[in-house]
């Protein structure tokens, strides 16, 4: 050893190790979940500035930000407001009071909504115009275009629209959630001698929010659109004949859309149907108005909806941007969209429905099948159910449905199976947020076909993704199962990243059978061999695995944890991860959205890194990896690391025991951990910083790499 090396080593030894933090309940060590949620929405907005994406995809991200913010106000902000209103303030791990959180939300949201409209007006619309996609203002219409718009208004708009003058006989109307409206200032008397001064024009949902002008009226060619708001502005006086329009301004109200059901209800479906009718008229939580709306009119609207100044959003453009989404899907501009791809089809799987309906069952008998969507096709999952529906040897099918769509192929196959006399049992979660009405429809359709439909357990959403097929093979009864991290929704399978496992492992399929028995029947918690299932064993087993890694690290054995999920907020899991970090375990967390854990705090989370992937596909896989000394354990799950998932939902976490498949998942996780173009690093203060190539690093994008290796 050289003298220099020895000196350096001695100097290092003289530096005291940072003290280990023992107070894990200190609010400073946790990030507020609502503010973390908002940070995810901001990362989505940032994608609209990513010049590596095609233009229409950047526009799509801009609009997804609007959609995400709508839901954020409808559910999260409304929940905070209700806590204050009913004096039921709940302080989370971070110690922030609901009023404090609302104040920070207002500040951040106003800032980034203003950014969104600046991006739209200053970047998106000019860039779209350069590509022949134009949004025409009403003062830019040519004489011929104005004539066409006038005819459109009188033929398509005026017969449907119902302006409402405000006077003692016409009080301020009850306006539905997220509907485009206009407040109009009037001058003059009407036919009855009334002089009210104001009116409201609600725009019916049936009217398109953007209207394409005929190509023969547009000399520059391309696609030319006009906003419905411009059309109504142009002809507002025609709705109030003989009156003078002093001003016409668009606005939109966002309301509380969370559903509240009493656990004591006698008929869950009927109670939910009643709640759905009320959803459109919940308490107001946000008012959006055109930024040229006079202050006295904005104040008038705030009073009508019992809102405050901080809940007013003055926007420089349409108040309902999400209705522009159709423009992103225009088939004439494929060059401005992501390149299409064909999901990969693993070797050895039968393509389509073969004449021999045993083929897919035979393949699963040989080995487990693991698929990663959307890079690999969802078709084998659908085919497995379709084959089961036709196979005379199949005796029973059981399935959970959370989001799927009433007219999906999966539901078609279940209907066919029931009509063929098979025992079909479906656990439909009718409380899947914003899919409640669709799930009620599919439940009725299944019942009419003869399937047994149950709605899970009151008070516990059935979020697990399970399918079980019971088949007679000679003298044996063999069970086949599909377990997934995502929903049985073919469209989402092209947009969300998820894992599917198809297996006939005796213990695992028996566990799935027991979970179905518990969901449809009654009794004590079932004992299962391989599954971890919430709300019973998942959280405990997960924390035990984390603690085992910590113990391995303390004893000098290999220790590492990789957790990939949509959200991390559960206090006990976070504390276990903090302790693992303090023990020296290297912890990598790939958390797409909400993360309440603060990484990089000396003496607490020095060994924890947190990253978020935001890209072309919505990251949805839930994967848990534990080094477990020299015998790694890999699990896939339907559950995020949240209180609601681990304590108040029915979830399943399943092991990947095939070494080849487990190694494959670890390699795919490593792609996410080395992504330096589509990933964001969580900083200790709760903000995010985009990862970029440094020095001579090559750009690496996990989703693109998976497309290249798994898709065709």
Q: Quick one: which of 469, 353, 468 has its CA closest to 409?
A: 353
CA distance linking residue 675 with residue 330, whole number of Å: 31
∠60-62-68 over CA atoms, to 5°?
Answer: 95
Please give the structure tokens belonging to residue 276.
Answer: 């759905």
Q: Go through the chain and tell me how many residues it has.
A: 712
Backbone angles phi, psi at 118, to 5 degrees: -65, -40
Is 433 marked within a binding site?
yes
Is 402 marked within a binding site?
no
Is 174 marked within a binding site?
no
Which of 233, 333, 373, 463 is catalytic? The answer is 463
Residues 6+ apart with CB under 8 A from 158: 235, 238, 239
Q: Can 373 be counted among the known catalytic residues?
A: no
Q: Do 116 and 65 contact (CB within 8 A), yes or no?
A: yes
Strand 532-534 vs strand 560-565: parallel, antiparallel, or unpaired? Answer: unpaired
Dihedral, CA atoms, 470, 472, 473, 478, nearest 10 degrees? 30
Largest separation between any pair of C-alpha atoms in the chain: 103
CA distance linking residue 431 with residue 439, whole number of Å: 8
The terminus-to-terminus CA distance of the chain in angstroms comes to 55
For the chain, the 3-state helix, strand and coil shares in percent, each to the nearest 5, are 40, 20, 40
CA distance linking residue 369 with residue 35, whole number of Å: 39
Residues 6+ apart with CB under 8 A from 425: 396, 397, 398, 399, 451, 452, 453, 454, 516, 520
Is 592 marked within a binding site?
yes
- Residue 333 Cα distances to 50, 129, 302, 338, angstroms: 19, 13, 41, 10
Which parts are annotated binding residues? 68, 403, 433, 496, 592, 620
Q: Which residues are catalytic?
A: 463
Which parts are annotated binding residues for Mg(2+)? 403, 433
Which parts are annotated binding residues for ATP? 68, 496, 592, 620
């Amino acid at each position: 050893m050289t003298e220099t090396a020895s000196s350096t080593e001695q100097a290092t030894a003289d530096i005291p190790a940072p003290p280990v933090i023992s107070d894990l309940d200190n609010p400073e060590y946790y990030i507020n979940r609502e503010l973390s949620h908002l940070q995810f929405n901001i990362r989505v907005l940032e994608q609209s500035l990513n010049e590596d994406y095609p233009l229409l995809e950047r526009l799509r991200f801009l609009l997804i930000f609007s959609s995400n913010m709508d839901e954020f106000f409808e559910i999260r902000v409304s929940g905070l407001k209700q806590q204050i209103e009913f004096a039921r303030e709940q302080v989370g791990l971070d110690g922030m009071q609901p009023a404090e959180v609302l104040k920070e939300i207002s500040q951040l949201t106003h800032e980034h909504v203003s950014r969104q409209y600046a991006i739209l007006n200053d970047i998106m619309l000019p860039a779209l115009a350069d590509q022949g996609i134009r949004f025409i203002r009403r003062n830019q219409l040519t004489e011929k275009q104005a004539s066409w718009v006038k005819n459109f208004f009188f033929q398509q708009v005026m017969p449907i629209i119902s302006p409402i003058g405000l006077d003692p006989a016409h009080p301020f109307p009850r306006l539905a959630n997220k509907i485009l409206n206009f407040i109009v200032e009037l001058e003059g008397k009407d036919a009855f001698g009334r002089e009210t001064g104001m009116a409201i024009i609600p725009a019916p949902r049936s009217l398109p929010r953007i209207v394409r002008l005929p190509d023969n009226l547009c000399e520059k060619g391309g696609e030319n659109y006009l906003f419905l708001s411009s059309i109504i502005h142009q002809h507002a006086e025609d709705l109030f004949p003989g009156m003078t329009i002093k001003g016409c301004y668009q606005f939109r109200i966002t309301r509380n859309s969370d559903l509240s059901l009493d656990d004591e209800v006698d008929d869950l479906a009927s109670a939910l149907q009643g709640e759905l009718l009320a959803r459109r008229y919940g308490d107001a939580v946000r008012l959006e108005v055109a930024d040229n709306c006079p202050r006295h009119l904005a104040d008038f609207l705030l009073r009508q909806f019992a809102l405050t100044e901080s809940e007013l959003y003055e926007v420089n453009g349409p108040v309902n941007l999400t209705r522009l989404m159709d423009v992103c899907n225009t088939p004439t501009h494929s060059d401005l969209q992501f390149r299409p791809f064909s999901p990969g089809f693993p070797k050895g799987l039968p393509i389509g429905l073969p004449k021999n309906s045993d083929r897919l069952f035979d393949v699963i008998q040989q080995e487990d099948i693991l698929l990663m969507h959307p890079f690999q096709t969802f078709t084998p999952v659908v085919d497995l159910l379709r084959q089961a529906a036709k196979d005379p040897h199949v005796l029973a099918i059981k399935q959970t449905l959370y989001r799927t769509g009433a007219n999906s192929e999966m539901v078609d196959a279940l209907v066919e199976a029931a009509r063929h006399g098979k025992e079909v049992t479906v656990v439909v979660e009718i409380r899947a947020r914003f899919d409640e009405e669709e799930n009620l429809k599919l439940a009725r359709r299944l019942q009419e076909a003869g399937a047994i439909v149950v709605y899970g357990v009151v008070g516990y959403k059935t979020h697990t993704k399970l399918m079980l097929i019971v088949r007679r093979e000679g003298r044996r009864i063999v069970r086949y199962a599909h377990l997934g991290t995502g929903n049985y929704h073919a469209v989402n399978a092209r947009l969300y990243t998820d894992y599917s496992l198809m297996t006939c492992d005796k213990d695992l399929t028996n566990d799935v059978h027991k979970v179905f028995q518990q969901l449809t029947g009654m009794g004590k918690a079932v004992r299962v061999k391989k599954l971890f299932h919430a709300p019973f064993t998942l959280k405990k087993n997960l924390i035990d695995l984390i603690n085992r890694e910590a113990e391995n690290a303390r004893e000098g054995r290999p220790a590492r944890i990789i957790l990939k999920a949509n959200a991390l907020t559960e206090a006990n899991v976070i504390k276990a991860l903090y302790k693992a970090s303090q023990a020296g375990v290297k912890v990598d967390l790939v958390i797409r959205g909400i993360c309440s854990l603060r990484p990089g705090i000396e003496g607490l989370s020095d060994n924890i890194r947190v990253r978020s992937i935001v890209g072309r596909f919505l990251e949805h896989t839930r994967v848990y990896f534990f080094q477990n000394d020299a015998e790694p354990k890999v699990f896939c799950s339907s559950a995020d690391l949240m209180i609601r998932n681990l304590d108040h939902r029915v979830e399943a976490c399943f092991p990947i025991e095939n070494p080849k498949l487990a190694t494959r998942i670890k390699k795919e996780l490593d792609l996410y951990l080395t992504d330096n173009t589509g990933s964001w690093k969580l900083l200790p203060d709760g903000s995010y910083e985009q990862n970029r190539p440094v020095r001579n690093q090559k750009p690496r994008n996990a989703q693109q790499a998976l497309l290249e290796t798994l898709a065709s």
